[in-house]
Structure 1
Amino acid sequence: MNHFESKVRPAKPEGERTPPEKLRVIACGAIAREVLAIRDANGLDHIDLQCLPAIWHAHPEKIAPGVEQAIGEARAEGFSRIFVGYADCGTGGLLDKVCEREGVERIAGPHCYSFFAGNEAFAAKDDDVTSFFLTDFLARQFRSFVIEPLGLDRHPQLKEMYFGNYRKVVYLSQIEDEALQQKAKEAADYLGLAYEYRFTGYGDLTGELLRAR
């Protein structure tokens, strides 16, 4: 092979595309199943998922500093493309400040209930002010993420203090699963609230991850 030939690279077959650059998605552990399901269903093999502790759902003050640290670690690992798999999630705008400072984007919306339902649809539901929401994750983990953190297992009399102003439990389901629906009904019964089921699928989350290509 002469010098000229060694410099020539064969053309890519027609229709073959360069794989997209790896994307680090830094997400709440409470939506890990959903992110992976969307990734696999849509061939988003370039997504590299890092989950932060799902229990931060109950401690939103930890989210912004935790995400900021994870962004720094991702860049140290060589990721130039980063997407934050959180909505505001109770940070009171602090997560947005981190995203602006770091030059990254996050999932649009105030919280996961909103983006699963669809942010526009969720905002249009006036009666949801008195609703307590469950997702698939929270239906599975109701004891670990609601009962125990609030101390209801030790002090059941606190239920009235925490939930006295709620009228119903609304289960926003990502997959149609009878066992999860039963768990959600049991959660509503435990809280002494009416029960409503809404199948949402993945809502706006799919579009957000596709947009983050």
Structure 2
Amino acid sequence: MVEAGLVALVALAALVVAVPLGPGVVARVPPPPGGVAHRDGPAPRRLRVVTVLAVAVVAGALHRHPSWLPAFAYLTVLGVWLAAVDLRVHRLPDHLVLPAYPLLALLLGFAALVDAAPGRLARAGAAAAASWLVFWALHRASRGGLGRGDVKLAGLLGGALGWLGWGYVGGGFCTGVLLGGLGALALLAAGRVGRHDRLPYGPFLLAGAWSAVVQAGIHP
């Protein structure tokens, strides 16, 4: 009962802060220099509903681990915002992604202190570095087909998934890549994009990581 109360309190606190701020955060991110918005931003009500549902699912999955929830609730809220931004302007802005590195490290450090789990924290750091390097290599190999914003996001997500275990790092990214491929095929089949159009990859990476976090909570 105490753990459930702590989980509910953390989730509620995250939503009280995030729900009012989300639409403004998403709307204020401009396109890259010389670029244009590819679609309108999500309706504020829709963004708020998605944020509440995503955090609620993560909170329910991690109910056995209340010390983990501040980090993963924060990552979930940020992930919803980044996905909405990337869909709108095909950009993962540094001012949202880069500060998340030290903040996530601080929140995971708190969890490591509460759970006496320094090994998890060390693994998270190693996974963040490994994920960044792998996606940087893919960025170079693709000659910009994979953006630098995706590389930075991969490092952040790798750190969070590394806290859960190496299997979740691989599983989360594989799920994201699979979702990205299926999404691209669906858009091509529907005639909504051409073969040479660039698609935002961030939402798929974020969805894969989110699913891995939920799976880790359900099957510890």
TM-score by length of 2: 0.29
Higher strand residue share: 1
Asked which structure has the greater RCO (Cα within 8 Å, sep 6+), the reply is 2
TM-score by length of 1: 0.30
Larger Rg: 1
